[in-house]
Structure 1
Amino acid sequence: MKKFLVFVLVFLLGAGAGAAGLIFGDPSLLSHAPKPVVEALPYNPLTAVSVTESGIESNLGSSGHYVSFNVEFDVALAALTSQGGSKAGAEGGSGTGSPVLDARIRNDLINLARSTPYHEFTASGGLSTFKTQVRTVLESIFGPNTIGPIYFSSLMTQ
């Protein structure tokens, strides 16, 4: 019984120390607030940066169907840098120049694909609807009116 009480006491002290470390050491770990969005920054094609996210693959919303695509889009430079990307990194050929930002974009696009049923994707106008949804996802990351034209350089469904 004494060993059990010692174990419980050590466990509670450890859990309390861990929680205190999270709360007082780095409170941002407890908040899931995204980085600040660039507000009222219109897209300007003369200063925009081209970004390519390639190799995005996911099952579609209905079982047995799959989508693989590469998406290319232009984004306002200030919006890209405010989220941790860089012009030099984006011009390198693939991604935004920030592995964290690339992972966030890819994750959000995969979640979009998983929530899109195959019949909606392949229906008349389905690709236009999907492109509009991709724009919504990208603008939720970079801010409203910061995304230029969106292109699928490769798209395959199965």
Structure 2
Amino acid sequence: MAAGASGSAGVPGPGMLLGEVLAPAVAAIGVWLAGMLALVAVSGVLTARAPGVVAVPVVTVLAYVVLSAATGAFALTLRTFESSMWAWSPLWYPIALTGGEGMEYVRVWPAYDNTKFFPQVLTLLTVFVLAWRRPRSRADVPADPKDLVVA
């Protein structure tokens, strides 16, 4: 998925949907990929040892951290921001995700004109990964073939 997103970001014209500049998109996808690999490993261990009531919220918060880190990598690679914008960095992902309009967002989100649909694409990929890697319950274990009765 990361290779596909990076490849589509590099297509002239339509690739601009993932950001106006290729280097920040590739950097953010790299950070997202590393974060997703770590998140899948952590979620596997966590769901094996903790009940779902604990595991699901923790994995959700960690997914938000991964998406925020990818958004931060996008902004950091652009280098078009002032140091005062770092105070708002925990909110960069939701601001970029909502495509916030207005002058107040321009002051806090350094990649205001460059993001396009990049956060939405990474969010969809994250949901796909987490749904694919969802915790398995004992009821999901396939039946033993010798227990099946063929009539």
User: Is TM-score (shorter-chain normalized) higher than 0.5?
Assistant: no
More helix by share: 2
TM range (shorter): 0.3 to 0.5
More strand by share: 1
State the TM-score, normalized to the length of structure 2. 0.33
State the TM-score, normalized to the length of structure 1. 0.32
